[in-house]
Amino acid sequence: MPMAELQTAFDFPELHRKGSRQPAVICVGGGKGGIGKTLLTANLGICFARSGIKVVLLDADLGGSNLHTTLGMDLPDISLSDFVQRRVERLEDTIVDSGVEGLGLISGAQDFLGSANIKYTQKMRVLKRILKIDCDLVIMDLGSGTSFNVLDFFLVADLGLVMLVPEPTSLENSYRFIKSAFYRLLKHRETSRPILKLLDDAMESCNEMGIRTPYDLIRVVARLDPERGDVYRSLMLEFRPLLVVNQVRTPEDAELGMAVRTACRKYFGIDLDYLGSIDFDDSVWQAVRRRSVLLEHDPESAFSRSVWKIAGTIARRLRHIERPSGWLF
């Protein structure tokens, strides 16, 4: 489909929530490194910006930020560090022009901000201000792993994408990521000390209580406190990460999304949505080497088509978001 047709294939109505100027927030995560999170973030940003809405990309890969490179940009002079270190007062002041109309970038921290180093209060200040950026949509690129910092950025989003590639290590990491994000959500909502302790213990894979899955956890909590068990169950129903399978080479690879969805529902009790797959495409890594953005330079490629399709599905989901953003606040 030519670019012009693709652009009009779906439109983005009012993305702001009713009566609010808060942007919609999505993020791209997944437990493993090198699986295409940054590529998808950059290219999704272009899809949405090309469709006429105001987008800000935020490089939340603290310690490994490279979203600017994926967008073909030099390292900007200003970054998230400047806001965190209070060298600038407003998060908006760290937005730089990406060169694509309607697409701004908040570049990742280059200096002190290894993911382990950002303090809790600094992080919460960033998360709160993300929801106040004057734009229609914020898309955040997350780092790999399941550190609290990664999970908290994931949880602040309206839609959290979990990427995986068809490899056993990636599968394992994505299950761990989904489980960890859910436990982290429960921790944010929990105030009882003994239950908080139980949540920490449950994260240990060989815990004495035999809790291996979110299902097990809820069973144990409901035994201790039935009402709390009900609250946890409803949080579980609301928690719906969106799965994207990248680097698909065979039809079986693409079916992995449904298999993971089924396994998550059966063993975790968590209902994922399978958003779609992206083909492995040699032109992707070739574009990366050239520092060019594939969606711009080859909109007909298999990769570009898949990304446009995923953007369309996301746009339809965003229409249904009416409540204020995020799980955390």
Binding site for ligand ATP (CB under 6 A): 33-39, 61, 64, 143-144, 246-247, 278, 280-281, 284-285, 288, 303
Residue 64 CB, nearest approach to ligand ATP (Å): 5
CB 146 within 8 A of CB 176: yes
Residue 140 CB, nearest approach to ligand ATP (Å): 12
Residue 294 CB, nearest approach to Mg ion (Å): 16
Residue 29 CB, nearest approach to ligand ATP (Å): 9
242-248 and 273-279: which strand pairing? parallel
Query: The sheet that has 103-106: what strands, in order across it?
Result: 95-97, 103-106, 55-60, 137-142, 24-29, 159-164, 242-248, 273-279
Distance from C-alpha of 124 to C-alpha of 317, rounded to nearest angstrom? 26
User: Is 59 or 158 the residue whose CB approaches ligand ATP more closely?
Assistant: 59
Displacement of CA 329 from its chain's centroid (Å): 17
User: Is 55 or 221 the residue whose CB approaches ligand ATP more closely?
Assistant: 55
Chosen from Mg ion, ligand ATP, none, partner binding at 63 (C-beta under 5 to 8 Å by type): none
Sole window of 10-18, 30-38, 80-88, 254-262 interacting with Mg ion (rule: CB under 5 A): 30-38
Number of residues that bind Mg ion (CB under 5 A): 2
User: Is 37 or 68 the residue whose CB approaches Mg ion more closely?
Assistant: 37
Chosen from Mg ion, ligand ATP, none, partner binding at 36 (C-beta under 5 to 8 Å by type): ligand ATP
Chosen from ligand ATP, Mg ion, none, partner binding at 35 (C-beta under 5 to 8 Å by type): ligand ATP
Residue 189 CB, nearest approach to Mg ion (Å): 29
Q: Is 38 in the site for Mg ion (CB under 5 A)?
A: yes
Contacts to Mg ion from residues 284-323, by CB under 5 A: none
User: Is 37 or 179 the residue whose CB approaches Mg ion more closely?
Assistant: 37
User: Is 177 or 239 the residue whose CB approaches ligand ATP more closely?
Assistant: 177
User: Is 154 or 303 the residue whose CB approaches ligand ATP more closely?
Assistant: 303
Binding residues for Mg ion (CB under 5 A): 37-38
